Amino acid sequence: MQQEPVRVDEHELARRTIRRSDFVSCAQAFIDCRTPGSDRKENYAMIGPGVSQNSKQAINLREPHGYNIGAAAMPHGVTNNLHLHFTAEVFLCFRGEYLLRWGADGDEGELVLREGDIASIPTWIFRGFTNIGPDDGFLFTSLGHDDTGGIIWGPSVLREAAGHGLHLTEDGQLIDTVAGDEPPDEVELVRPVSDEHIDRLRSFSTEKMRRRVVTQDDLEWCSHPFLCSSVTGGETELALVIGFGMTEDLDQEPRIHNPHGHNLAWLRAAPGAGMLGHRVDETQVLMVKEGRWEVTLNDHDQVGVELGEWDMLSVPPGSWRSIRNVGEDTGKLLVINSGDGRVRPRWDEEVVKSAADSGYSIDHNGYVAPYALVPRNRG
Question: Is residue 2 pLDDT above 70, yes or no?
Answer: no
CB atoms within 10 A of CB 266: 20
DSSP state at residue 193 = P
Domains 31-214 and 220-373 equal at CATH topology level: yes
Taking only the tens place, the pLDDT of each residue in 263-293 is 999 999 999 999 999 999 999 999 999 999 9
Q: Please, what's the b/e burial string for 344-372 (b: 16 or more CB within 10 A of its CB; e: otherwise)? A: ebbbbeebbebbeeeebbbeeebbbbebe
Question: Is residue 379 pLDDT above 70, yes or no?
Answer: no
Q: Can you give the residue ranges of every domain in the chain? A: 31-214, 220-373
Taking only the tens place, the pLDDT of each residue in 101-113 is 999 999 999 999 9
Percent of the chain with pLDDT over 90: 78
Q: Whole-angstrom Cα distance, residue 72 to residue 89?
A: 13
DSSP state at residue 195 = H
Q: What is the model's pLDDT at position 1?
A: 47
Q: What is the model's pLDDT at position 273?
A: 98
Cα angle 164-46-310, degrees, rounded to a multiple of 5: 115
* Burial of residue 237, with CB atoms counted within 10 A of its CB: 0-12 exposed, 13-18 middle, 19 or more buried: buried
The model's pTM is 0.93
Question: Is residue 322 pLDDT above 50, yes or no?
Answer: yes
Question: Is residue 367 pLDDT above 80, yes or no?
Answer: yes
Domain 220-373 CATH (choose: 2.60.120.10, 3.10.20.30, 3.20.20.450, 3.40.50.2300): 2.60.120.10
Q: Contact, 226 vs 345, CB < 8 A?
A: yes
Taking only the tens place, the pLDDT of each residue in 36-67 is 777 788 899 999 999 887 788 899 999 999 99
Question: In this structure, which topology does domain 31-214 adopt according to CATH?
Answer: Jelly Rolls (2.60.120)
Question: Is residue 170 pLDDT above 70, yes or no?
Answer: yes
* CA distance readout (Å), 45 to 52, 229, 377: 8, 34, 46
**pLDDT band at 237; cut points 50, 70, 90:** very high
Taking only the tens place, the pLDDT of each residue in 195-212 is 999 999 999 999 999 999
Residue 348 or residue 136, greater confidence: 348
Question: Is residue 84 pLDDT above 80, yes or no?
Answer: yes
